[in-house]
Structure 1
Amino acid sequence: MLNPVWIQTFSTVATARSFTDAGRQLGLSQSSVSDHIRRLEQSVGRRLFVRDTHSLALTPDGEALLVHARLILESIARAESQFSAPRLQGRVRLGTSEDLAQGPLPNVLAAFRDAHPDVEFEITIGMTGRLYELMDAGSLDLMVGKRREGDRRGVPLFRGQLGWLARPGTVIDVRQPLPLILVHEPSVTRSVVLDALAKSGWRWHIVCSSSSHSGCIAAARGGLGVTVRAQNLSGRGLVPPVNHAELPALPDVEFVSLSARRLSKPAETLLRLLQKSDLRASRED
């Protein structure tokens, strides 16, 4: 058993090359230092130092143990730092688009909660346009969602290719107006899709509008028409139409994070985690 106290004494002696100096640094008597080294040598079954009245040197086994000793002491220091530091407390007001909330965001929140269990969350799920309004009003600390082409607000997280989705087996009659299922305004996805159709000259009509992506998914699963989501955040139970290659191509959308000018420590910590996390991963339902 490698006693951390003996390991600390051993490392200090190895650096100081003196039992006396090591004892002075550690606040121990020379006899205590000698006792720690003796017990450590007995524990590992190896001689660690070559000693005489004038010099002290590490044996080859001592050199090898010193490498491990430094790693052990560094790990102990990191653990002590983590558990001696004040626990994060407070509240984070987070806004998120529904597609991210239904996809990879819960994994990020779980990782945050594991590390900071005392932080309280207030989560608002809504259309990105509405989240921007709440940010401007000071009602959110930070948000994650889409931004319109040309908008410079926010820090980019990833880009997602929009794709057509419908009930399995759906074949779109391209001779007829495209039956669209879209969320209400203000919606980045809605405006991007309608702009793309207008530029390509496609006829369309909205067969269903919903206040949420869940409503759009339900309508598409019911066979009312086609809806749109970023391909890496595909809807539950939906697939591209059989003849999706005949439909107009859709552009990418950019997902970003946006924060208030002044953040609490919990909100700042969550923001750093969001920006480091890979939110592109989809979730199968």
Structure 2
Amino acid sequence: MLNPVWLNTFATVAASHSFTDAGRQLGLRQSSVSEHIRRLEESVGRRLFVRDTHSLALTADGEAMLVHARVILDAMAHAQSQFSSPRLRGRVRLGSSDDLALGPLPSVLAAFRDAHPDVELEITIGMTGRLYQMVDAGELDLAVGKRRLGDARGTRLFSGRLEWLAKPGTVVDTTQPLPLILVAEPSVTRGVVLDSLAMSGASWQMVCTSSSHAGCIAAARGGLGLTVRSHFLAARGLAPPVNRAELPELPEVEFIAFCSKHPGRPAETLLQLLENSDLRGEWDGE
């Protein structure tokens, strides 16, 4: 059993290169420092220091033990800080675009809920353009959605290239206008796709408009036409067209988080968790 008191004494001695200096820092007598090191060495069955009258150095086992000691002590300090601080309470009014809500967001919310069970989550799903408006109006504390590359608003979480998706096995007739299935305005994805098609000179026809990405996915599964999504958020039951190389290339979009002017501590805590989470991956949205 690695006693954390012994580990702390060991790490302090290793840093100061002196039993006397370590005792002074820890408020211990030198005999107590020596006793802690002796008991630690006995518990692991290894010599941790090479000592003589003039020098003190770590052995190879001591170097290895120092790595473990730092990890253990850091983890204990983190745990103590978390559980000694007041429990986070309140409410977060969170907005999310539905593609993120159908993809990676639930795992982040689960981690937040585990860490802060006393915080109430109120979630609104909508197009990013509408979420901007709600944040500005003070109706949401925090939102996650998309922005065009080059836009400055929000904190970047990750970026992903948009890709064409359709019913598996679809071969697109490129001699005809592309049959598009897109979300309604205000939509960052819709704007990016139509701008990209205009720049490429491609012709298109809007065959289906939906208020949500879920609706677009359903229509594409039915074989109505082409929809788009970030390749990090690929939807189950859809696949790139067989001749996707013949279709216009689509750009990247950035997935972001953005806060109200006065979000409050619960929302700021969730934002920090979002910033530190890897939201990229293969997500099977329904």
Partner SS state of residue 182, structure 1: strand
Contact residue 138 and residue 260 of structure 1 kept, 8 A: yes
Contact residue 158 and residue 254 of structure 2 kept, 8 A: yes
Q: Deviations over 1:196-227 (max 9, x none)?
A: 22333322221111111111100100011111
2: CA distance, partners of 1:248 / 1:13: 64
Greater shift, 247-256 or 222-231, is seen at: 247-256
Residue 248 of structure 2: aligned partner: 248
1: CA distance, partners of 2:133 / 2:117: 29
Is 1:163 matched up with 2:159? no
Contact residue 149 and residue 252 of structure 2 kept, 8 A: no
Q: 1:125 to 1:17 in 2, by over 3 A?
A: same
Q: Which runs of structure 2 are paired with 1:1-285 in the superposition (5 Å)?
A: 1-4=1-4, 17=19, 25=27, 64=62, 67=66, 71=70, 73=73, 75-148=75-148, 150-284=150-284
2: CA distance, partners of 1:155 / 1:43: 48
Greater shift, 103-112 or 31-40, is seen at: 31-40
CA root-mean-square deviation: 3.8
CA displacement at 1:156 relative to structure 2: 2.2
1: CA distance, partners of 2:10 / 2:174: 79
CA displacement at 1:185 relative to structure 2: 0.9
Letter in 1 for 2:27: Q
Q: Deviations over 1:168-191 (max 9, x none)?
A: 111112222221111111111112
Runs of 4+ residues deviating >6 angstroms: 6-16, 30-42, 44-49, 57-61
Report the TM-score when normalising by structure 1: 0.79
Partner SS state of residue 131, structure 1: helix
Residue 52 of structure 1: aligned partner: none
Runs (5+) with no aligned partner, structure 2: none
Runs (5+) with no aligned partner, structure 1: 50-54
CA displacement at 1:113 relative to structure 2: 2.2
Q: Deviations over 1:42-73 (max 9, x none)?
A: 76678999xxxxx9x98989x94994896455
1: CA distance, partners of 2:281 / 2:141: 24
Paired-residue identity, %: 66
CA displacement at 1:140 relative to structure 2: 1.1
2: CA distance, partners of 1:217 / 1:124: 20
Report the TM-score when normalising by structure 2: 0.78
Contact residue 48 and residue 62 of structure 2 kept, 8 A: no
How many residues are treated as equivalent by the alignment?
A: 280
Letter in 1 for 2:102: Q
Q: Which of these two proteins has the greater Rg computed from alpha carbons?
A: 1
Q: 1:17 to 1:96 in 2, by over 3 A?
A: same
2: CA distance, partners of 1:153 / 1:60: 51
2: CA distance, partners of 1:17 / 1:252: 58
Q: 1:203 to 1:268 in 2, by over 3 A?
A: same
Partner SS state of residue 176, structure 1: coil
CA displacement at 1:147 relative to structure 2: 1.6
2: CA distance, partners of 1:48 / 1:254: 50
2: CA distance, partners of 1:48 / 1:225: 69
1: CA distance, partners of 2:10 / 2:200: 75
2: CA distance, partners of 1:235 / 1:123: 22
1: CA distance, partners of 2:129 / 2:177: 27
Q: 1:99 to 1:12 in 2, by over 3 A?
A: closer
Partner SS state of residue 112, structure 1: helix
2: CA distance, partners of 1:96 / 1:133: 13
Greater shift, 206-215 or 240-249, is seen at: 240-249
2: CA distance, partners of 1:37 / 1:199: 71
